[in-house]
Chains A and B, each alone.
Chain A
Amino acid sequence: MAQANIELLTPASRAEIDTWVAKYPPERKQSAVMAALRIAQDQNAGWLTTELMDAVAAYLGMTPIAVYEVATFYSMYQLEPVGRHKINVCTNISCLLRGSEDVVKHLQQRLGIKLGETTADGRYTLKEVECLGACVNAPVAQIARQYYEQLTPELIDRIIDGLE
């Protein structure tokens, strides 16, 4: 059986994971799995390879399938390559009432892709997400760590033009 290679996690990633591991009792190291997966995803252009998940499993002393269970449960973990900019559009009830369908439609037209797809040049991924917790300024989208609120087609164009 091929041994998982924890070297796939960069020293910086491992150091960051260690700060999370330190928050839990030593025998509960696996509690850091969600943070560790996020850190691993961030170091790898926003998505998790099976090898990276195996490395997280080995690093935290877990079986690989237990890590896959976590990574497949949460929609924020990407298991396939994503574009440089992952545009997360909320389509939950508040945003829906405030026009998220138009937001999605405009984004799809502008980028030429459907929800869940990535542009051929690898720049954008369009993703439908559940409530982002900013209903007061619906409709909302999240790109990287930034929220964009009260979206209109014009605003969307400006935002996309501003992305590198």
Chain B
Amino acid sequence: MVTIEINGKPVQARPGAMLIEVADEAGITIPRFCYHKKLSVAASCRMCLVEVEKVAKPLPACATPVTEGMKVWTRSPKAIAAQRNVMEFLLINHPLDCPICDQGGECDLQEMAMGYGRDVSRFHEGKRVVASPDIGPLVATDMTRCIHCTRCVRFGEEIAGVMELGAPGRGEHMHIGTYVEKSLSSELSGNIIDLCPVGALTSRPYRYSARPWELKAHASVSPHDCVGANLHLDVRGHNVMRVRPRENDEINEVWLADRDRFSYLALAHEERLLAPQIKRDGAWQTVDWNTALTAAAQGLRSVMQNHAARQLGALAGYGATTEEFYLLQKLLRGLGSNNIDHRLRQLDLSTQEAIPAFPWLGQALADLDNLDAALLVGSNVRKEQPLVALRLRKAARGGARLMAVNPVDYDFNFPLAARRVVDPAAMSQELIAIAQSLLELNGEQAPEGFAALAAGVVVLDEHRLMARNLKDAAQAAVMVGNTVAYHPQQGALLMLASLVARLSGARFGILSEGGNSAGAWLAGAVPHRRAGGEASDSAGLDWRGMVSGGLKGYVVLNVEPELDCIDGAAARAALAAAECVVALTPYVTDAMRDYADVLLPIALFPETSGTQVNVEGRWQGFAGCTTPPGQVRPGWKVLRVLGNLCNLDGFDYDASDEVRNELEAACSAVLPSSKLVWKAPAALPTRGSGLSRIIDYPIYSVDGMVRRSAALQNTPDATAGVARLNAAMAAQYGVATAARVRVTQSGGTCVLPLVLDERVPNGCVHVPAGVATSAMLGADAVLELTAAE
């Protein structure tokens, strides 16, 4: 450590640290625009000029490393004069339009001008005017206000890994832009709104709707992926006006994915269910809560009386709160049924017994920054968990070798040191080959049953490279992504990936699908485990069993099975055939009106208190910050009353904290683990004829909220259903020139636009799920494809 003196006060500093960092830590304010602690130093705005002893001219604090004995003055006459003069130059071309600028009231330039500027401008000449390009539905531009700090450019280049904004032109003509007018494609583009120190880049959906001093910030947590990004919900009255990141270096740092930031737009969607409804003689009636809850309890009881408790089942969505999951399973189990599941996107649940208490990342999110090597298996991490991809990118910039075994050559925002892109049906062979290569490297005996699997598997140089990279790394990880969860042989892939991790000494992690899968597992929203991971007395039916078994009664919580379930067609048919379906739902769809008998409106995350457990196993509680609209009530309260009306004990909670405390006590013995006990997968099935379907959920189709966020649905990442295959396959199937193709899977048929995409391997067609146009397709591994015309 070196000792320097700032404004006469001695300060300890790390050698090589920049003055501005040291001053920030010491709580000494130095004005700045271009400097940002998470970005590289540009030293272009010159606002942070300070006086340094024995240096004739003021120095920029952001680009001046500290040295022993350095004496610095941030408020000396020389420093103040320098800052005032820089401010005067910055304001030369800046318009005086603060009254109509959305940044007004939270503008760095406004604040710095007040604190460090002159009172009147001496500049009488004409100001520069810059055209504002349309860069998409999320970010509004007013480039005349830009002061060229280049934070947005550096963010794209360094953090997001997609440089879309740049600074074309020179001198007076230099401006921030895209050169070619286009929408930003980055899934992290909203962060430039926070980074922009002026009103040049502002939130487009929030535009002109509120002033910062009218807003009250409430802490919350994003439910859209397993990261659990920390949020500030800015509320005015009863409305969430916008969402901003809440800094947490261990989770989201200062960033948010656009999905976390703009999903709030769906809070007031027209499909919100605002009052309880019941179906009487085939017609929907709006009723009061009492009537609806009595009808719901009555419906469940009559299923039990006329049939049996095991004819009841519960399907929950990934984004429910942990308290809701807990109460739902408590209700079902109280009624005598273990049929409860939230894993509606997993086709193969054969390894559910081997999974520890919850699917765990195997490490902290922050540990990902320091990885030296990582193998992603079946993961489009950039679009599945954008903030995890951001950490992996950080690791890659530090030299980590990142590798992938994937069914599509996904575009990552980090380079891959090795990749295998194969038919989903061949993914297990890839893992076997890597494991085989590790066994050879280790000179180790193959685990039981492995040799039979490995017979006939060819080990390629690429596999050996992957094995060596993992083994040689001090910090290595093998992580399975969501494409594995959706895979018809998920069990085999999990076993093999965990074997690769064990053989290479890497940490094994599961990047679970959905927002609160960990919470659901811990709460017992799985058929074979009670709360706290304790084995169920008798395992209930998983969702596939519930759907194929055709139960008589269902409770549906915060999920639209027709879209959210990977076999939506089958789920919908099973629900339609049931005698009683009670849906606790924030939104109501036509499908729901068709199959449900009671509709109970429940709150979305900003309107309820609750807890999310993220992929690290971190419990993150949040409070409700707005009153729910209409008659909507928090889900945990609805479940509490349902429990009471069903005459069950232990449903007398006054606050969601009491639910959480009860569950936390049950989970007190749970230690996070990602260890799977090796059990050789059964012989891998050979794939039938036809094209393998590669299935994934596009980033803006993962749940009801993001599907209803108009701004997100207008971005290039939003998809309305598409079939992608490579040109060779298209030629082979005679559809090379077709605009649309007919796709048939498990008896369901739809017509989709065809996109030729060389990232899709031979023998496969990529048909994303979660969109209405392909919701009728089934769950078979292969599908048939013909030209539509």
Contacts and interface: CB of A to CB of B under 8 A. Distances in A.
Q: Do A and B come from one complex?
A: yes
Interface of A: 1, 50, 63-66, 68-69, 71-74
A128 to B, nearest CB: 15
Interface in B365-417: none
Contact of B168 (A1, A63, A72): A72
B166 A69 contact: yes
Interface in B730-752: none
A48 B169 CA distance: 15
B641 to A, nearest CB: 50
B166 A73 contact: no
B64 interface: no
A65 B166 contact: yes
B185 A1 contact: yes
Given A1-B185, A72-B179, A63 B170 contact: no
Contact of B166 (A50, A68, A74): A68
Contacts of A64: 179-180
Interface stretch (B157-165, B436-444, B492-500, B670-678): B157-165
Contact of A1 (B157, B167, B178, B716): B716
Interface centre among B162, B164, B168, B185 (most CB of A within 10 A): B168
Contacts of A65: 163-166, 168, 178-179
B527 to A, nearest CB: 43
A69 B167 contact: yes
Contact of A69 (B164, B168, B173, B185): B168
Nearest to B164: A65
Given A63-B162, A65-B166, A72-B179, 4 more contacts: A63-B164, A65-B163, A69-B166, A72-B169
B180 A50 contact: yes
A64 B167 CA distance: 12
Contacts of A66: 163, 166
Interface in B172-216: 173, 178-180, 185
Contacts of B157: 63
B168 A68 contact: yes
A1 B164 CA distance: 13
Contact of A73 (B163, B165, B169, B716): B169
| Interface SS of B by simple majority | loop
Nearest to B153: A65
Contacts, number: 36
Nearest to A73: B170
Interface residues of B, number: 16
Contacts of B185: 1
Q: Please list the 7 inter-chain residue pairs (A to B) with the smallest Cβ-Cβ separation, ordered nearest first.
A: A65-B166, A72-B168, A68-B179, A63-B163, A69-B166, A73-B170, A72-B169
Nearest to B178: A65
Contacts of B162: 63
Contacts of A69: 166-168
Contacts of A74: 170
24 contacts: A1-B185, A50-B179, A50-B180, A63-B157, A63-B162, A63-B164, A64-B179, A64-B180, A65-B163, A65-B164, A65-B165, A65-B166, A65-B178, A66-B163, A66-B166, A68-B166, A68-B180, A69-B167, A69-B168, A72-B168, A72-B173, A73-B169, A73-B170, A74-B170
A106 to B, nearest CB: 28
A73 B169 CA distance: 5
A71 B157 CA distance: 18
Nearest to B180: A50
Query: Residue among A1, A63, A65, A72 with the most chain B CB within 10 A?
Result: A65
A87 to B, nearest CB: 22
Contacts of B170: 72-74
Nearest to A50: B180
A141 to B, nearest CB: 22
Contacts of B167: 69
Give the interface centre of B167, B173, B179, B716 by most chain A CB atoms within 10 Å. Answer: B179
B185 to A, nearest CB: 7
Contacts of A1: 185, 716
A65 B157 CA distance: 11
A73 B179 CA distance: 12
A65 B179 CA distance: 7
A69 B157 CA distance: 13
Contacts of A50: 179-180
A63 B185 CA distance: 13
B211 to A, nearest CB: 33
B752 to A, nearest CB: 19
Contacts of B165: 65
A72 B165 CA distance: 14
Nearest to B411: A1
A61 B175 CA distance: 24
A162 B165 CA distance: 45
A74 to B, nearest CB: 8
A62 to B, nearest CB: 9
B719 to A, nearest CB: 13
B182 to A, nearest CB: 9
A73 B166 CA distance: 12
A4 to B, nearest CB: 12
Nearest to B162: A63
Contacts of A71: 168
A113 to B, nearest CB: 22
A68 B173 CA distance: 14
Contacts of A72: 168-170, 173, 179
Contacts of B169: 72-73
Nearest to A62: B163
